[in-house]
């Protein structure tokens, strides 16, 4: 590894002792000897296995649920339905005042996506739980479903989630998150060229090697220990406390070791129902997703659509940018209202543009609920923005890297969402990229600085 | 249901268990014997996290029934280090930063061990092929390949 | 009912046990145990046989007979089956190849079953205790097949006469976009006198590319010579759609890969 200390040499002390030095990872010795304890490496006598009966339909009303045959199945200890969950309607971000609660722990009256949890079966063995789950009878009235964001936003589209009343998340700013800066129409009117393009992505599954799950054991004093691979320990503890209407002091969460997460283990899905099962049976419970559940049931990165309209001058300056972003939340909010909001803040990218208009929508469809994944809300947007930047450079016949130097934000520039830029370092990164990738740019760009005025 | 007796050598120790018929070796090792170094990542034979060595061959313990291992010699990653001294592969995985989340690591080390047992000085392509049934979703393949090549070099230096 | 395994010394006894409802034959476990792990509760009894002939490979007089329990690794490493090594090694990673059997591969649904594609091109026969069936007939009826497959037999093609290609998106190893096997015989002037071409992933099980075979007869392995075969390659196919590729994509790339295989 090579440290280029010449960048910012005049604005920081040269006192880096750890950075640039190889240091052993504290968890590696456990990993290479197989001694690292992942949640599923714990087993307890008498542990029950939880299997979920899931909706085979994208959108349906539940007429009735008959668990009588399943209850009689050998090895079955407990069967849970919506009425067993103390506070069955929840939303994870309620902890940071994002509402309304819009998702059921176990479906109550309706399912809104294929794979939604309906009935939980707890049995002595995994096999007995699977066999009993196959005997649960759910009578569905199939409803029209909508899978496309633009279709979902049209008048007359099937209503996905009644807790919202419409197929988009209602922000305090209205039907979308909005950023307004300068006069974008005047910008387009004065531009040499205007380019409008649309970009879209499909959902992406994290596919961690270790599937989502938890092991819960009752401590015998109304307290429960939950070994989990959640990436969001306190979010999970607090939401579980709300869902189960139990004080947090009754819940002991043990985690921190995650066999791959990438954002896919921040939803509070397995813990509340497993703890409820342990509470109602008095026995340890494990609820571990099968590989198929991990791929089909756990939230993916949201599908997105991004429409970018830019006004650009022949000399390379972008003078106006209008972005409309759509985030497909699937049937429930989870982290998607936040993801769409991040998108609004993130556009127009790391560029200083005098006239900006951003609208980002969080849209509900009958698809698997999406949620967090590595830079969710901005990653797909960055793909769209940088492809757009290349197209703009081509349009005006300019080198794509030089085009970015011209528009790069620098310290002191006002961003569209009214945060002054500081610590930008984009210019310096591109200078180094130019050298490392052997992509030469004109000398004047190599003389630029993120923080020296006029340079 | 009647239990089935199974006896095999695990990491050099004679081991006997009564298992339910149809139980996988993975389940037996982890939940009955307490060797949790093989991991259950997919239970489909796709990810390789459950890889163990049975009679000198790399096998997937999630698809192997315990009963079929009666009399077998089984090795897992937890049995690799001796008297607290890491096996050259374990040492190399540490030194080349070949672990990230660590979930795939025991399976990777098993696959690498079988390779080096048969091919002490593998080419890079042979290493890639040997690891081709093991998934690292943190996508740290390059350091893992380097770790196996490093371990092979240190083995041959020790032998010389 | 819990899963239970019964082991029999002879195929005959195993066949008798297999008549019980809910029972399935256990080969290497890569299909049956996988299904049980994923929650397929239709299987409750697993039957296997340890009869030694099931694990034998016999090569004599240009004829090959491979016991149904022989693994992909054993085929891939057999000194006299070198020309099939590529097809055997196309299956899974090293651990899978140590477990997956030739008998099991005959039952592997697309996109799996690459080796069965090779066997189809080799015009193999599939044997049970009672009968010997051409592989094409066997594959067509495999869903209802109850008798234990004991071995697979075929005639070794002349050196260089067998070609195999598996196309994956992941390197070095991945699930098939498609696989193609071909056994070609050429007259002294280079024209094709006999062609057997089998395709994987172009239907729910391996299939022959009969129109392409016919279009190759009397032609040479040149770009012009194979053009008609490539144009006909998709005839009668019904490619699968799965997370690896859509039916449309598979149909589009089939002629490209067949061309590469024929002109290689």
The pLDDT tens digits of the residues spanning A208-261 come to 999 999 999 999 999 999 999 999 999 999 999 999 999 999 999 999 999 999
Model pTM score:
0.95
Give the contacts of C246 (CB within 8 A, at least 6 positions apart).
none
* Per-residue burial over C100-132, b = 16 or more CB atoms within 10 Å of its CB, e = otherwise: bbbbbbbbbebbbbbbbbbbbbbbbbbbbeeee
Nearest to B24 among C7, C28, C33 (CB): C33
Q: How far is B18 from chain A (nearest CA, A)?
A: 16
Contact between chains at B102 and A208 (C-beta distance less than 8 A): no
Contact between chains at C94 and B132 (C-beta distance less than 8 A): yes
3-state secondary structure of C5: strand
- Return the HEC string of C211-222: HHHHHHCCCCCC
Nearest to C173 among B43, B45, B132 (CB): B132
C7 touches chain B (CB under 8 A): yes
Q: Is the pLDDT reported for residue A2 higher than 80? A: no
The pLDDT tens digits of the residues spanning B130-140 come to 999 999 999 88
Residue in A with minimal Cα distance to C1? A128
| Cα–Cα distance measured from residue A433 to residue A401, given in angstroms and rounded to the nearest whole number | 10
Q: How far is C37 from chain B (nearest CA, A)?
A: 6
pLDDT value of position B159: 67
Hey, what are C173's tokens? Answer: 């190893």
C4 touches chain B (CB under 8 A): yes
Interface with C, mutate which of B24, B133, B135 (most C CBs under 10 A)? B133
The pLDDT tens digits of the residues spanning A80-116 come to 999 999 999 999 999 999 999 999 999 999 999 999 9
Q: Which residue has the tokens 């939940």?
A: B31
Contact between chains at B86 and A30 (C-beta distance less than 8 A): no
Q: Tell me A159's DSSP state.
A: P
Contact between chains at B43 and C29 (C-beta distance less than 8 A): no
| Cα–Cα distance measured from residue A100 to residue A35, given in angstroms and rounded to the nearest whole number | 43
Partnered with residue A213 across adjacent β-strands are A288
B99 touches chain A (CB under 8 A): yes
Using a CB-CB cut-off of 8 Å, the residues of chain B touching C73 are: 57
pLDDT value of position C145: 87
Contact between chains at A27 and B102 (C-beta distance less than 8 A): yes
| Strand extents, DSSP E, chain C | 4-8, 23-25, 45-49, 57-60, 63-67, 125-128, 132-134, 149-155, 162-168, 176-186, 192-200, 207-208
Q: How far is A150 from chain C (nearest CA, A)?
A: 24
Q: Is the pLDDT reported for residue B157 higher than 80? A: no
Domains in chain B: boundaries: 3-77, 88-159
A390 touches chain C (CB under 8 A): no
Which 93-122 residues of chain C touch chain B by CB within 8 A?
Answer: 93-96, 98-99
Give the contacts of A10 (CB within 8 A, at least 6 positions apart).
none
Cβ pairs B/C, distance under 8 A: 85
Q: Is the pLDDT reported for residue A136 higher than 60? A: yes
Q: Is the pLDDT reported for residue A346 higher than 80? A: yes
The Cα-based distances of A370 to A149, C19, C28, C100, C143 in angstroms read 13, 46, 38, 37, 38
CATH superfamily for domain C163-263: CO dehydrogenase flavoprotein, C-terminal domain (3.30.390.50)
A310 touches chain C (CB under 8 A): no
Nearest to C2 among A51, A127, A292 (CB): A127
Pairing, β C4-8 against β B57-60:
unpaired
Using a CB-CB cut-off of 8 Å, the residues of chain C touching A130 are: 39, 41
- Spans of chain C, pLDDT less than 50: none
Residue in A with minimal Cα distance to B84? A33
Helix, strand, coil percent values for chain A (each to nearest 5): 30, 25, 50
| Cα–Cα distance measured from residue C185 to residue A249, given in angstroms and rounded to the nearest whole number | 78
Tell me which CATH code domain B88-159 carries: 1.10.150.120
Q: What is the mean pLDDT of residues B62-66?
A: 98
Phi/psi at A155 (nearest 5 deg)? -60, 140
3-state secondary structure of A23: coil
Q: Which residue has the tokens 């982890």?
A: B30
| Cα–Cα distance measured from residue B82 to residue B104, given in angstroms and rounded to the nearest whole number | 22
Other Cβ atoms closer than 10 A to A245: 9
Q: Which residue has the tokens 């936003």?
A: A153
Confidence of residue A1 (pLDDT cuts 50, 70, 90): low
Residue in C with minimal Cα distance to A289? C38
C243 touches chain B (CB under 8 A): no
Interface with B, mutate which of A1, A22, A24, A34 (most B CBs under 10 A)? A34
pLDDT value of position B156: 80
- The answer to whether B80 touches A27, Cβ cutoff 8 Å, is no
3-state secondary structure of B60: strand
Q: What is the mean pLDDT of residues A65-71?
A: 98
The pLDDT tens digits of the residues spanning C39-65 come to 999 998 999 999 999 999 999 999 999
The ipTM estimated for the assembled molecules is 0.96
Q: Which chains touch B (3 or more CB pairs under 8 A)?
A: A, C
Interface with A, mutate which of B29, B103, B113, B140 (most A CBs under 10 A)? B103
Pairing, β B73-75 against β B3-10:
parallel
Characterise A145 by phi-psi region: left (phi > 0), alpha (psi -120 to 50), beta (else).
beta
All domains of chain A, ordered by start, with CATH? 48-143+207-296 (3.90.1170.50), 177-203+301-446 (3.30.365.10)
Tell me which CATH code domain C52-155 carries: 3.30.465.10
Q: How far is B40 from chain C (nearest CA, A)?
A: 11
Which of A50, A455, A56 lies closest to A281, judged by CA?
Answer: A50
Using a CB-CB cut-off of 8 Å, the residues of chain C touching A125 are: 2
Asked if omega into C111 is within 30° of 0 (cis), the reply is yes
B45 touches chain C (CB under 8 A): yes
| Cα–Cα distance measured from residue A220 to residue A280, given in angstroms and rounded to the nearest whole number | 12
- Average pLDDT, rounded, for chain A: 96
Contact between chains at C94 and B21 (C-beta distance less than 8 A): no
| Cα–Cα distance measured from residue A328 to residue B18, given in angstroms and rounded to the nearest whole number | 50
Q: What is the mean pLDDT of residues A129-152?
A: 98
The four Cα atoms C93, C99, C105, C110 give a dihedral, to 10 degrees, of: -40
Percentage, residues of chain A above pLDDT 90 = 93
Nearest to A259 among B30, B44, B101 (CB): B101
Using a CB-CB cut-off of 8 Å, the residues of chain C touching A131 are: 1, 41
Q: Which class is B3-77 in CATH?
A: alpha beta
Confidence of residue A455 (pLDDT cuts 50, 70, 90): low
pLDDT value of position B1: 61
C50 touches chain B (CB under 8 A): no
Q: Which residue has the tokens 């759509």?
A: A326
Using a CB-CB cut-off of 8 Å, the residues of chain C touching B20 are: 2
DSSP secondary structure of A421-440 = --S--HHHHHHHHHHHTT--
Nearest to C37 among B21, B62, B132 (CB): B62
Give the contacts of C101 (CB within 8 A, at least 6 positions apart).
C27, C28, C68, C69, C70, C71, C72
Contact between chains at C41 and A130 (C-beta distance less than 8 A): yes
Nearest to B44 among C3, C34, C93 (CB): C34
Which 68-97 residues of chain B touch chain C by CB within 8 A?
Answer: 68
Other Cβ atoms closer than 10 A to C263: 12
Contact between chains at A31 and B99 (C-beta distance less than 8 A): yes
Residue in C with minimal Cα distance to A294? C38
């Amino acid at each position: 590894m090579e440290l280029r200390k010449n960048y910012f040499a005049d604005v920081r002390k040269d006192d880096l002792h750890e950075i640039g030095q190889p240091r052993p990872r504290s968890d590696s010795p456990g990993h290479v000897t197989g001694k690292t304890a992942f949640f599923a490496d714990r087993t307890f006598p008498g542990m029950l296995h939880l299997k979920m009966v899931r909706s085979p339909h994208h959108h349906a009303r539940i007429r009735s649920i008959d668990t009588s045959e399943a209850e009689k199945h050998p090895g079955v200890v407990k069967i849970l339905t919506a009425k067993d969950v103390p506070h069955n309607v929840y939303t994870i971000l309620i902890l940071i005042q994002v509402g309304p609660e819009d998702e059921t722990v176990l479906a109550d009256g309706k399912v809104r996506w294929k794979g939604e949890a309906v009935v939980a079966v707890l049995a002595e063995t995994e096999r007995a739980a699977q066999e009993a789950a196959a005997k649960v009878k759910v009578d569905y009235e199939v409803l029209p479903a909508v899978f496309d964001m633009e279709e979902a936003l049209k008048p007359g589209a099937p209503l996905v989630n009644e807790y919202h009343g419409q197929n988009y998340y209602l922000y305090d700013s209205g039907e979308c998150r909005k950023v307004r800066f300068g006069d974008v129409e005047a910008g387009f009117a004065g531009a040499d060229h205007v380019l409008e393009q649309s970009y879209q992505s499909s959902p992406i599954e994290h596919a961690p090697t270790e599937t989502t799950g938890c092991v819960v054991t009752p401590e015998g004093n109304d307290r429960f220990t939950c070994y989990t691979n959640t990436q969001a320990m306190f979010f999970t503890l607090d939401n579980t406390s709300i869902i189960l209407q139990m004080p947090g002091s009754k819940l002991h969460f043990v985690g921190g070791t995650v066999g791959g997460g990438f954002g896919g283990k921040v939803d509070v899905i397995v813990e509340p129902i497993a703890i409820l099962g342990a509470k109602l049976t008095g026995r340890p419970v494990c609820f571990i997703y099968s590989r198929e559940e991990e791929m089909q049931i756990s939230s993916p990165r949201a599908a997105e659509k991004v429409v970018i309209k830019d006004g650009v001058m022949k000399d390379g300056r972008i003078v106006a940018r209008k972005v409309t972003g759509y985030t497909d939340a699937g049937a429930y909010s989870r982290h998607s209202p936040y993801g769409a909001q991040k998108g609004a803040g993130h556009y127009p990218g790391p560029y200083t543009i005098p006239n900006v208009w951003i609208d980002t929508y969080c849209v509900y469809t009958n698809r698997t609920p999406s949620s967090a994944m590595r830079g969710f809300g901005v990653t797909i947007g960055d793909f769209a923005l940088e492809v757009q930047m290349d197209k703009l450079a081509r349009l005006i016949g300019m080198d794509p890297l030089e085009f970015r130097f011209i528009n790069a934000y620098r310290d002191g520039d006002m961003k569209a969402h009214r945060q002054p830029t500081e610590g930008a370092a984009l210019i310096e990164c591109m200078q180094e990229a130019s050298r490392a990738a052997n992509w030469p740019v004109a000398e004047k760009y190599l003389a630029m600085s993120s923080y020296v005025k006029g340079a | 249901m009647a239990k089935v007796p199974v006896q095999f050598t695990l990491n050099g120790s004679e081991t006997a268990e009564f298992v339910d018929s149809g139980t996988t070796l993975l389940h037996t090792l982890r939940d009955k014997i307490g060797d949790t170094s093989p991991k259950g990542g997919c239970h489909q034979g796709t990810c390789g996290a459950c890889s163990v060595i049975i009679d000198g061959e790399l096998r997937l313990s999630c698809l192997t029934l315990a009963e079929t291992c009666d009399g077998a010699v089984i090795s897992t990653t937890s049995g690799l280090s001796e008297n607290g001294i890491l096996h050259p592969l374990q040492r190399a995985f540490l030194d080349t930063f070949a672990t990230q989340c660590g979930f795939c690591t025991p399976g990777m080390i098993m696959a690498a061990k079988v390779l080096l047992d048969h091919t002490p000085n593998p080419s890079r392509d042979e290493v890639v092929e040997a690891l081709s049934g093991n998934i690292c979703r943190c996508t740290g393949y390059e350091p893992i390949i380097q770790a196996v090549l490093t371990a092979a070099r240190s083995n041959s230096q020790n032998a010389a | 009912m819990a899963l239970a395994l019964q082991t029999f010394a002879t195929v005959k006894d195993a066949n008798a046990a297999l008549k019980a409802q809910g029972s399935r034959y256990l080969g290497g476990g890569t299909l049956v145990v996988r299904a049980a792990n994923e929650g397929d509760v239709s299987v409750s009894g697993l039957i296997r046989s340890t009869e030694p002939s099931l694990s034998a490979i016999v090569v004599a007089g240009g004829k090959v007979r491979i016991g149904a329990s022989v693994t992909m690794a054993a085929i891939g490493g057999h000194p006299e089956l070198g020309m099939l090594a590529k097809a055997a090694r196309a299956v899974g990673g090293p651990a899978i190849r140590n477990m997956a059997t030739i008998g099991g591969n005959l039952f592997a649904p697309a996109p799996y079953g690459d080796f069965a594609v090779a066997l189809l091109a080799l015009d193999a026969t599939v044997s049970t205790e009672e009968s010997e069936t051409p592989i094409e007939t066997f594959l067509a009826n495999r869903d209802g097949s109850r008798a234990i497959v004991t071995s697979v037999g075929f005639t070794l093609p002349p050196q260089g006469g067998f070609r195999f290609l598996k196309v994956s998106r992941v390197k070095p190893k991945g699930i098939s976009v498609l696989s193609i096997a071909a056994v070609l015989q050429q007259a002294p002037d280079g024209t094709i006198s006999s062609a057997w071409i089998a395709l994987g992933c172009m239907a729910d099980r391996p299939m022959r590319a009969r129109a392409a075979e016919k279009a190759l007869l009397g032609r040479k392995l040149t770009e012009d010579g194979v053009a008609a075969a490539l144009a006909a390659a998709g005839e009668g196919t019904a490619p699968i759609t799965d997370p690896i590729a859509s039916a449309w994509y598979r149909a589009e790339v089939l002629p490209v890969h067949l061309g590469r295989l024929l002109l290689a």
